[in-house]
Amino acid sequence: MGDLRGLARRIRKSAAFQRMLERMFAGYTRLILRTTRWRHEGFAGFEADLARGEAKVFCVWHGRLLMAPFCRDWTDPGLSVLGSDHPDARIATEVMRRMGIDVIPLKTRGGNSASVARAVAVLRGGKTIGITPDGPLGPGEEAKAGAILLASRAQAELVPFAYSTNRRIHAKSWDRFLVPLPFGRGIFLIGKGFVPAPNLDAEGLAAAQARLSRLLTETAAEADRRVDAGDW
């Protein structure tokens, strides 16, 4: 059994296996994009802010990540995402790189000061950072401090985002990963965000984390409600 487990680990980590998974991932997202009737809601103010060069921290729960990069054309302005180096995250980050999205790597072990400094510089340049505040390993739907601290340092708005489709299943994983099924209705939804105060103390940081968690969960629930009751 030990030999079989070792073989399975080696296959999983092999470049050929990773490339196969990347092709499957990219192919499935294209299928969902092409066979789903999508709506964009809540984007008007967001797009106007981007046009004015206002920095944004684009936040989405890890379980709603699959279709999030496809909610708009990120060519202008560009998008940088904070992507974990965890093996389970590499497939998604490689697909995003091929879409022209800049990936700022985050180590699951060790320091990330250089990556954080790069992300802050992106924000201070008026660009957008994408992040899963509960990733890469959870707990699910509990915002960690990272997104808050980035937005606080750069005085950028935290923007809650979710997508949903009326034909969907949830994986039995820590994040209840949403897997959309083809030939349904879909929504990309931006909720109301906020800019955290600068120089947050521990109490202020905890309050901002709770607020972001609530906004993201409410946005996801509203996305589900709208597609389930949809008239398109």
Q: In sequence order, what DSSP letters do the residues of 69-124 get, joined into one string?
A: GGSS-TTSS-EEEEEE-SHHHHHHHHHHHHTT-EEEEE-SSS--HHHHHHHHHHHH
List pLDDT tens digits, range 158-212.
999 999 999 999 999 999 999 999 999 999 999 999 999 999 999 999 999 999 9
Higher pLDDT, 102 or 36: 36
pTM for the structure as a whole: 0.89
Q: What is the mean pLDDT of residues 38-43?
A: 98
Length of the chain: 232
Q: Please state at what angle helix 15-35 crosses helix 87-98, rounded to 10 degrees.
A: 60
Backbone angles phi, psi at 100, to 5 degrees: 90, 10
Distance of CA 136 to the CA centre of its chain: 10
Q: If you average pLDDT over every residue of the chain, what do you get?
A: 89
Name the strands in the sheet holding 37-41, side by side, starting at the edge strand that comes first in the sequence.
37-41, 185-190, 157-165, 56-60, 128-131, 79-84, 102-106
Q: What is the mean pLDDT of residues 59-72?
A: 96
Q: What is the mean pLDDT of residues 37-64?
A: 96
Asked if residue 130 has pLDDT above 50, the reply is yes
Q: What is the mean pLDDT of residues 212-216?
A: 98
Per the listing, tokens 């180590």 go with: 107
Q: What is the mean pLDDT of residues 34-59?
A: 96
Q: How many helices (H) and strands (E) does the chain have?
A: 7, 9
Asked if residue 10 has pLDDT above 80, the reply is no
Residue 149 DSSP class:
H
Pairing of strands 102-106, 37-41: unpaired
